């Protein structure tokens, strides 16, 4: 009986009467609707979109931006009636990326193993889209104006009169280790976001020095901040590549008895609300994270429908907070 199928698929020309009969019969047999396994075999689609996040869940979601990305993705997927498969990309071993049913993949952030993930999806013929990560051929991406945005922040500091400005960058490559920002480290860098933000900063302060953080966390920023502020010729401003790092730098400054922004100006990046660091209204660039998530999911859905899509670019917005001021003296 094809009629039943039509009833459950929503559309189709079915008389109201028959429709009712089908539903009643279904209720009586307590039939819970078509079996998703059979349906997806027949239709060639599973209605599932995989979202690949970095490493373990707990690491990935320490970053509020990642959560906001996922929130946007989740909303768009949910609106489209699809389901969201969360795939932590552990690196080694079998991921569900290799074996689970999925119609498309969204890569979030830049795990050390993205390339392997892209390859896996390609082999399976599953379209891929990337969000906030390294660009790949044939992978439409949702990207941010990281370079220009960071240049804006650097320009803000320069306009205030700062000349000795240091930076705390996000990890530059797969190995997450704290490091000085050396020329070699920069040459070997692979993480787009970090590289672009650094380039933006250096477009204003060409020989800016700094520290490469091991992760985007407050504690990392604190350690990095201590290192930078202990230097003999200590900077009058620090440009951190994320708000979490910036919060850490502020903590480090306070511990050293420096006031922000009196003795030290600090800027971040992302525009998340760190509500635990309440007194500080950070000067930062606000990125529309949830919107980017939605956009990435929409790209994925379009690719499932066979459309040829182009990458999308988003803009972040300058927010002048209370953590920047002219240098003292």
Interaction of residue 80 with its own copies, rule CB under 8 A? no
Instruction: Give, as ranges, the residues between 59 and 78 that touch its own copies (CB under 8 A).
Output: 61-62, 67-68, 70-71, 74-75, 78
Instruction: Give percent helix, percent strand, percent coil of the chain, each to the nearest 5.
Output: 40, 20, 40
Place of tokens 């189709």: 12
- Minimum separation from the CB atom of position 122 to its own copies (A): 9
199 interacts with DNA by CB under 7 A: no
Give the shortest CB-10-to-DNA separation in angstroms: 10
Q: Return the residues of window 44-73 that contact DNA according to CB under 7 A.
A: 44
Q: Is there binding between residue 187 and DNA (CB under 7 A)? A: no
3-state secondary structure of 210: strand
Q: Does 136 bind DNA (CB under 7 A)?
A: no
User: DSSP string of 21-67?
Assistant: HHHHHHHHTT--SS-HHHHHHHHT---EEEEEEESSHHHHTTSHHHH
Given DNA, its own copies, none, residue 15, with its beta carbon under 5 to 8 Å by kind, binds DNA
Q: Compute the least distance from the CB of residue 90 to its own copies, in Å.
A: 7
Half-sphere CA count of 273, side-chain side, radius 13 A: 2
Query: Applying CB under 7 A, what is the total number of residues that bind DNA?
Result: 24
Least CB distance to its own copies at residue 315 (A): 21
For residue 58, the partner it binds in DNA, its own copies, none, with Cβ less than 5 to 8 A by kind, is its own copies
d(CA 169, CA 239) in angstroms, rounded, equals 8
- Contact partner, 2, from its own copies, DNA, none, Cβ < 5-8 Å per class: DNA
User: For residue 165, which phi and psi values (nearest 5 degrees)?
Assistant: -120, 130
- Say whether residue 56 binds its own copies (CB under 8 A): yes
Which residue's entry shows tokens 């708000």? 243
Q: Does 139 bind its own copies (CB under 8 A)?
A: no
Binders of its own copies in range 254-313 (CB under 8 A):
274-278, 290
Residue with tokens 């790949």: 136
Instruction: State the minimum distance, in angstroms, from the CB of residue 48 to DNA.
Output: 15
Per CB under 7 A, the list member of 35, 159, 305, 317 interacting with DNA is 35
Q: Tell me if 125 sits within 8 A of 303, measured CB to CB.
A: no
Rounded CA separation 302/240 (Å):
36
Cβ atoms within 10 Å of 251's Cβ, excluding its own: 19
Q: Does 42 bind DNA (CB under 7 A)?
A: yes
* Piece of 47-55, 110-118, 196-204, 299-307 that binds its own copies (CB under 8 A): 47-55
Taking a C-beta distance cutoff of 8 angstroms, is the pair 193, 231 a contact? no
Instruction: Look up residue 111 and give its DSSP letter.
Output: -
Which region, judged by CB under 8 A, interacts with its own copies, from 48-56, 133-141, 181-189, 230-238? 48-56
17 contacts which partner out of DNA, its own copies, none, CB within 5 to 8 A by kind? DNA
Spatial neighbors of 177 by CB under 8 A, at least 6 apart, are 214
Q: Measure the CA–CA gap between 90 and 120, rounded to whole angstroms.
A: 14
Select from 5, 21, 23, 47 the one that contacts its own copies (CB under 8 A). Answer: 47
Q: How far apart are CA 256 and CA 250, in angstroms?
A: 10
Query: Which residue matches tokens 């200590």?
Result: 234
How far apart are the C-alpha atoms of 127 and 102, rounded to whole Å? 10
152 binds DNA (CB under 7 A): no
Q: Is 83 in the site for its own copies (CB under 8 A)?
A: yes
Residues in contact with its own copies by CB under 8 A are: 30, 32-33, 35-38, 40-41, 44, 46-48, 51, 56-58, 61-62, 67-68, 70-71, 74-75, 78, 81-88, 90, 93-96, 98-102, 123-125, 217-219, 222, 247, 251, 274-278, 290
């Amino acid at each position: 009986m094809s009629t039943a199928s039509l009833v459950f698929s929503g559309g189709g020309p079915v008389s109201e009467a028959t429709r009712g009969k089908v539903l009643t019969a279904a209720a009586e047999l307590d039939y819970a609707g078509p079996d998703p396994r059979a349906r997806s075999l027949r239709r060639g689609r599973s209605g599932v979109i995989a979202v690949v996040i970095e490493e373990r869940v707990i690491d990935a979601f320490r970053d509020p931006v990642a959560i906001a990305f996922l929130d946007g993705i989740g909303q768009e997927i949910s609106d489209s009636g699809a389901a969201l498969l969360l795939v932590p990309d552990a690196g080694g071993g079998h991921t569900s990326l290799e074996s689970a049913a999925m119609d498309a993949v969204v890569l979030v952030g830049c795990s050390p193993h993205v390339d392997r993930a892209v390859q896996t999806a390609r082999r399976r013929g599953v379209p891929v889209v990337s969000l906030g990560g390294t660009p790949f051929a044939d992978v439409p991406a949702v990207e941010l104006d990281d370079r220009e945005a960071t240049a804006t922040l650097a320009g803000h500091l320069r306009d205030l009169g700062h000349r000795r400005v240091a930076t705390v960058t996000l990890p530059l490559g797969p190995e997450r280790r704290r490091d000085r920002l050396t020329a070699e480290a920069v040459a070997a860098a692979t993480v787009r976001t970090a590289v672009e933000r650094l380039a933006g900063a250096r477009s204003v302060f060409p020989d800016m020095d700094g520290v490469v953080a091991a992760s985007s966390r407050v504690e990392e920023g604190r350690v990095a901040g201590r290192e930078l502020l202990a230097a003999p010729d200590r900077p009058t401003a620090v440009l951190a590549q994320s708000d979490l790092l910036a919060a850490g730098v502020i903590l480090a400054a306070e511990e050293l008895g420096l006031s922000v922004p009196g003795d030290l100006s600090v800027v971040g990046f992302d525009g998340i609300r760190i509500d635990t660091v309440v007194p500080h209204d950070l000067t930062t660039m606000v990125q529309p994270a949830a919107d980017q998530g939605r956009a990435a999911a929409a790209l994925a859905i379009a690719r499932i429908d066979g459309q040829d899509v182009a990458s999308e670019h988003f803009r972040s917005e300058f927010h002048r907070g209370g953590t920047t001021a002219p240098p003292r003296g």
